[in-house]
């Protein structure tokens, strides 16, 4: 069982909600990314989602797009990201790591994923493939990496079933119609859809996209098995990209963690 | 190689290994709905009657097949025929597809229309059909293209649509597509996205091809009538590839006709500064489809370079990738410099100012006509007229208009 499945199992047994934190690797530079990842863990983050920069991130809102652009300016590639994670693992061999990105980068560097030295990466989420499919369908095979599929408010019931069956890490429920960082959460719809997903899912269902305030986090964690925070963190990284004083992010995440516990 | 099966894409939207549906989950239902609607309507008599009526009465089809006498004499090795898509209402082939897609949007009850545009021709064509039905319309256009195609920006505004200038990335067509996709993800319930080329996720490459195939279908009949044979070659420019696909598709099984797509060679394919993925790219995934793609050594999409806004795109429609690999079509590239020379030559020889995109197809005649003798019939698909490019060309020539 890999780190992600183990962690989610533990949390379930303790009746706790998972906190997943996202950043873009290489934003503003790889050393900062490494520091922030360790800080995530100290602040109570259960799973780290590492964004793989791409020139054309069509599911991202302006905040995360700019982070992708900054990382690309630094020429951050998936190769660099694997090296970063190997470094992270020297100090932390417990925290699950999910790579989140667009198919082209994963296909381009398929050998790195197949190799996955010391199993340092636990899971992959490809934003731009249909939920029923995963990287194995594109010829990228690694049994120790599990897959996370997205289900959105527009996913129809018959597909929810097949997607839920296909997801081996967790199910990522996209809480809104929109790009990352938007703000039009419809809690009633979210609650109903997550109930529907849970009928079929063998793995936990986490909610993400558009969760900003402590109140959002608290509210959504009562419906899902955990929450994913992305744009708010990336905005704080952007604001501190010159000063490199990222401590505020730790405080913010600690508060979120308390609110969902 | 003989291509036996033109019944592509397969049920998953693939042309051989190319194509598919690589989109965020939020769009999957919208694509399914679109596919279902299209499959239901495409052979429906009322739908087809309406489509062809609009093409005839509003667009002015069929477009003529015109014998380019002086240009033919200039080369002296055959007859050059021009398929005059530049004479369509709004000035390019783009209107054929938007006439069809707006009928789908209407049938699906969508209230809001969005589109991306590069040269602005698809933006104009979309704003035109949206105005005709009184639908709200938003056009996404790269900031750089907004400047170099200012005439079309003004036309789009006159037609009552809103132009959104896109600053992200390279600020050209690819970024306009990104932004249109983001709009669609956000407003998917009431919005119809009219993609303007044979690109994007399935079913778009198929739908755009089918609507624009009216060009090739007319050409089959006109060739029989005017020179009593099928053409020896058809030459068309390829950016995303809609004008080429529309004229190639009905000819896929007519093996005596060579199909030649001309990409934008920019400063020259060998310099790496171009927009010619079929000549100098590798298969990759962009905007919902697997196809030839210009990418760097890190799997990132490369910035493109072309004097022509409509060809300035790092990807290409998946069916072209399949036609290339199968050998049924040939793909070449022409530099900015050669395209500009052809732009002037065709204007002076034939009294037709072609679009800069189309000028790429004309420029390839310099190479192609050497391969024929005097009995050859070669068709150039004149995808659009050059009025929109006057400012660009004048500036390059150092003239203030």
In whole angstroms, give the CA distance from residue B316 to residue B198.
Answer: 8
CA distance B384 to B88: 8
Domain total of chain A: 1
ipTM beyond cut 0.85 = yes
**Residue B178 and residue A77: Cβ atoms within 8 Å?**
no
Tokens of A245: 């004083």
Q: Name the residue facing B25 among A55, A78, A174 (closest C-beta).
A: A174
HSE (side-chain half, CA atoms, 13 Å) at A180: 29
Q: Which of A165-179, B60-74, B276-290 has the weakest average pLDDT?
A: A165-179
For residue B182, the distance in angstroms to the closest alpha carbon of chain A comes to 6
pLDDT in tens, A30-75: 999 999 999 999 999 999 999 999 999 999 999 999 999 999 999 9
pLDDT for B6: 64
With bands split at pLDDT 50, 70 and 90, how would you rate the model's confidence at B101? Answer: very high
Per-residue confidence at B4, pLDDT binned at 50, 70, 90?
A: very low
Average pLDDT over residues A10-24: 97
**Tokens (6 digits) for A37:** 């990842």
In the predicted structure, residue B1 carries a pLDDT above the cut 50: no
> Which residue in this structure is represented by tokens 């397969």?
B10
CA distance B141 to B180: 9
Q: Answer yes or no: is pLDDT of B279 > 70.
A: yes
* Rounded CA separation A210/A61 (Å): 10
Q: In chain A, whose CA is at the least distance from the CA of B30?
A: A154
- Tell me, what CATH number does A188's domain have? 3.20.20.70
Read off the pLDDT of each residue in B81-107 and give the average, rounded to a whole number. 98
Chain-centre distance for alpha carbon B214: 14
Question: Is the pLDDT assigned to residue A196 strictly greater than 50?
Answer: yes
Strands (E), A127-259: 146-147, 149-151, 171-174, 205-208, 226-229
Q: Taking 50 as the threshold, does the pLDDT of residue B3 lie above it?
A: no
Catalytic-residue membership of B383: yes
Is residue B253's pLDDT more than 50?
A: yes
Q: Supply the pTM of this predicted model.
A: 0.95
Please answer yes or no on whether A108 and B178 come within 8 Å at the CB atom.
no
Min Cα separation A126/chain B (Å): 9
The predicted model gives B174-201 an average pLDDT of: 95
For residues B259-267, average pLDDT: 98
B132 or A139, greater pLDDT = B132
Q: Are strands A18-24 and A226-229 parallel, antiparallel or unpaired?
A: parallel
Instruction: Provide the token pair at B300.
Output: 């990132």
Which domain does A238 fall in, by range?
Answer: 3-260
As a residue count, chain A comes to: 261
Q: Does B181 touch chain A (CB under 8 A)?
A: yes
B2 pLDDT above the threshold of 50: no
Q: Span B95-101, mean pLDDT?
A: 98
Let me know if B242 is a catalytic residue: no
Smallest Cβ–Cβ distance between A152 and the set B26, B169, B288 belongs to: B26
Cβ contact (<8 Å) for B298 and A56?
no
**Where does B68-218 show beta strands of DSSP type E?**
79-84, 112-117, 136-142, 162-166, 191-193
Measuring CA to CA, which residue among A92, A205, A97, A81 is closest to residue A145?
A97
Give B37's pLDDT tier (boundaries 50, 70, 90): very high
The average pLDDT across B328-340 equals 98
The answer, for A55 touching chain B at a CB cutoff of 8 Å, is: yes
Check residues B5 and A187 and name the one with the higher pLDDT.
A187
3-state class of A189 per DSSP? helix
Q: A85-93, long-range: CB within 8 Å, 24+ apart, which pairs?
A: A85/A50, A85/A120, A85/A121, A86/A117, A86/A118, A86/A120, A87/A34, A88/A34, A88/A37, A88/A38, A88/A120, A89/A118, A89/A120, A91/A38, A92/A37, A92/A38, A92/A41
Cross-chain Cβ contact A77/B185 below 8 Å? no
Q: What is the per-residue pLDDT for A42?
A: 98
Task: Work out the pLDDT band at A183, boundaries 50, 70, 90.
Answer: confident
Q: What is the rounded average pLDDT for all residues in chain A?
A: 94
pLDDT > 70 in chain B, percent: 99
**Residues of A whose CB is below 8 A from B285:** 102-104, 107, 128
pLDDT at B5 over 80: no
pLDDT band at residue B238 under the 50/70/90 scheme: very high
Res B27 pLDDT > 50? yes
């Amino acid at each position: 069982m890999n780190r992600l499945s183990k962690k989610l199992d533990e949390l379930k047994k303790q009746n706790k909600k998972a906190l997943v934190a996202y950043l873009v690797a290489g934003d503003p530079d790889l050393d900062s990314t490494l520091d922030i990842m360790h800080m995530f863990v100290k602040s109570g983050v259960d799973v780290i989602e590492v964004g793989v920069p791409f020139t054309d991130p069509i599911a991202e809102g302006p905040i995360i797009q700019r982070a992708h652009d900054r990382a690309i300016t630094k020429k951050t590639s998936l190769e660099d990201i694997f090296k970063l994670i190997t470094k992270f693992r020297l100090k932390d061999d417990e925290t699950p790591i999910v790579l989140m990105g667009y198919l082209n980068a994963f296909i381009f560097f398929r050998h790195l994923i197949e190799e996955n030295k010391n199993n340092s990466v636990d899971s992959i989420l490809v934003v731009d493939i249909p939920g029923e499919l995963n990287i194995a369908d594109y010829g990228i095979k690694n049994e120790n990496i599990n897959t996370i599929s997205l289900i959105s408010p527009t996913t129809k019931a018959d597909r929810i079933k097949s997607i839920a069956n296909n997801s081996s890490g967790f199910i990522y429920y996209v809480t809104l119609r929109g790009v990352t960082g938007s703000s039009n959460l419809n809690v009633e719809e979210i609650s109903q859809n997550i109930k529907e997903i849970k009928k079929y899912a063998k793995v936990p269902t986490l909610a993400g996209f558009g969760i900003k305030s402590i109140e959002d986090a608290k509210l959504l964690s009562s419906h899902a098995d955990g929450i994913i925070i992305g744009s708010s963190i990336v905005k704080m990284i952007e604001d501190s990209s010159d000063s490199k004083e990222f401590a505020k992010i730790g405080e913010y995440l600690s508060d979120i963690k308390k609110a969902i516990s | 190689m003989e291509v036996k099966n033109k019944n592509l894409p397969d049920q998953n939207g693939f042309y051989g290994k190319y194509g598919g549906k690589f989109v965020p989950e939020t769009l999957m239902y919208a694509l399914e709905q679109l596919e279902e609607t299209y499959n239901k309507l495409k052979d429906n008599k009322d739908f087809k009657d309406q489509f062809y009526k609009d093409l005839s009465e509003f667009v002015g089809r069929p477009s003529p097949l015109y014998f380019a006498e002086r240009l033919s004499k200039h080369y002296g090795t055959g007859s050059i025929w021009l398929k005059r898509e530049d004479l369509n209402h709004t000035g390019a082939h783009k209107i054929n597809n938007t006439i069809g897609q707006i009928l789908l949007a209407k049938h699906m009850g969508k209230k809001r229309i969005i589109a991306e545009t590069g040269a602005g021709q698809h933006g104009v064509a979309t704003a035109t059909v949206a105005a005709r039905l009184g639908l709200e319309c938003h056009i996404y256009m790269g900031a750089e293209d907004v400047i170099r195609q200012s005439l079309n920006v003004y036309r789009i505004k006159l037609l009552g649509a809103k132009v959104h200038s896109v600053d992200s990335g390279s600020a050209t067509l690819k970024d306009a597509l990104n932004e249109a996709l983001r709009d669609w993800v956000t407003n998917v319930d009431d919005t119809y996205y009219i993609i303007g080329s044979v690109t994007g996720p399935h079913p778009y490459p198929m739908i755009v091809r089918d609507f624009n195939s009216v060009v090739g279908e007319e050409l089959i009949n006109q060739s029989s009538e005017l020179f009593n044979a099928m053409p020896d070659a058809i030459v068309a420019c390829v950016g995303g590839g809609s004008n080429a696909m529309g004229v190639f598709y009905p000819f896929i099984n007519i093996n005596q006709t060579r199909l030649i797509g001309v990409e934008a060679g920019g400063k020259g394919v060998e310099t790496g500064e171009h927009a010619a993925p079929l000549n100098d790219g590798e298969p990759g995934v962009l905007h919902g489809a697997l196809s030839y793609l210009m990418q760097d050594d890190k799997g990132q999409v490369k910035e493109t370079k072309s004097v022509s806004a409509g060809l300035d795109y790092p990807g290409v429609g998946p069916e072209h990738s399949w036609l290339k690999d199968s050998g049924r079509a040939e793909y070449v590239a022409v530099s900015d410099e050669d395209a500009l020379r052809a732009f002037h030559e065709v204007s002076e020889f034939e009294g037709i100012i072609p679009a800069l995109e189309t000028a790429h197809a004309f420029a390839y005649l310099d190479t192609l006509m050497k391969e024929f003798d005097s009995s050859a019939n070669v068709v150039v698909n004149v995808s659009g007229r050059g009025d929109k490019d006057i400012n660009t060309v004048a500036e390059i020539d150092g003239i203030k208009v």
